[in-house]
A and B are shown apart, each in its own frame.
Chain A
């Protein structure tokens, strides 16, 4: 029996995902496609928010969408009604998207023809926080029906957010949403994030979000 010895490895467990994410990122940069990973709990209004964004920015820039859901292609079909190419990833149980799924889905999108790629992640506030997809920007959505302390309960996700969107403002009063408390919690847990308060249904607050997107895209490319 040989003597015990230590072999140093120092490799990331998620190295494979990270490598594919880096390849995705390089591809998007090379083709000047601004990519965003949109994450939230199920039912926060992600798809409605994105549908409205896509419809309202249709004349400003062209977009493509990748949507992840455990089952159905309802969201991709809904987003296609905004006039964009949308590719559905149906994960059949996998509760988050990973870089390889995104890489495969982008093969079905003509990246040369788009300025922005939106990746709507599976509704889940835990796992998506830990999987790099190669995106340029991370957006976390939170609806007024979810309560003010959501950021305190899911700090890992909020701490990777570049943008936090508070959605469904139109029903805030009806559900007794404590706005100041929510904003304070977001600012405390996610001081790095730019915050938008919107109603995707009525359009309230959405223009600031579009202006921000245009600015970011101009800065980037």
Chain B
């Protein structure tokens, strides 16, 4: 889903930070990508390889930390990680409507020289 556009925003963001911090070279960019974010990690990596050219991130590695979906079951007062698209509590079987995480699409950090 628009991974090239997303990566362009990532590059803009890290370039800003690198400039502010007077960093020379970006060695790596770490992202957190939720399973429900709509972004596909492989496509992000592919897009990164292209969009980073001629930028301060041109030699940087993209590190993606996947964020799984975690739900909360009100009945059991417990969090759980569903295995698929059906968010069924493994204890009581109720379908959860509370998604605690899994939607992130963030730049976490950069490693610079």
Q: Is chain B found bound to chain A in the same assembly?
A: yes
Interface residues of B in 51-109 (CB under 8 A from A): 85-87, 95-97, 99, 104-109
Asked if A11 and B106 sit within 8 Å, CB to CB, the answer is yes
Q: How many residues of A contact B (CB 8 A)?
A: 29
Q: Is B4 interfacial (CB 8 A cutoff)?
A: no
| CB-defined contacts of B109 to chain A, threshold 8 Å | 6-10
| CB-defined contacts of B23 to chain A, threshold 8 Å | 7
Q: Which partner residue on chain B sits nearest A5 by CB separation?
A: B112
Asked if B9 and A130 sit within 8 Å, CB to CB, the answer is no
| CB-defined contacts of A136 to chain B, threshold 8 Å | none
Q: Is A172 interfacial (CB 8 A cutoff)?
A: no
Is chain B's interface secondary structure helix, strand, loop, or mixed overall?
mixed
Known contacts A13-B6, A13-B9; decide if A6 and B111 are in contact (CB<8 Å).
yes
| CB-defined contacts of A159 to chain B, threshold 8 Å | 36, 85, 99
Q: Is A205 interfacial (CB 8 A cutoff)?
A: no
| Cα(A1)–Cα(B24), bound, Å | 9
| CB-defined contacts of B50 to chain A, threshold 8 Å | none
| Cα(A15)–Cα(B39), bound, Å | 15
| Cα(A191)–Cα(B95), bound, Å | 7
Asked if A9 and B2 sit within 8 Å, CB to CB, the answer is no
Known contacts A11-B13, A13-B6, A127-B2; decide if A4 and B95 are in contact (CB<8 Å).
no
A131 to chain B, nearest CB (A): 9
Q: Which partner residue on chain B sits nearest A157 by CB separation?
A: B38
What are the nearest 4 A-B pairs in CB distance?
A: A130-B38, A191-B95, A155-B85, A192-B97
Interface positions of A (Cβ within 8 A of B)? 1-16, 126-127, 129-130, 152, 155-156, 159, 187-189, 191-192
Q: List 23 A-B contacts (CB under 8 A).
A: A1-B24, A2-B24, A2-B113, A6-B109, A7-B21, A7-B23, A7-B110, A7-B111, A8-B109, A9-B13, A9-B14, A9-B17, A9-B107, A9-B110, A10-B108, A13-B105, A126-B1, A156-B38, A159-B85, A188-B86, A188-B95, A189-B86, A192-B97
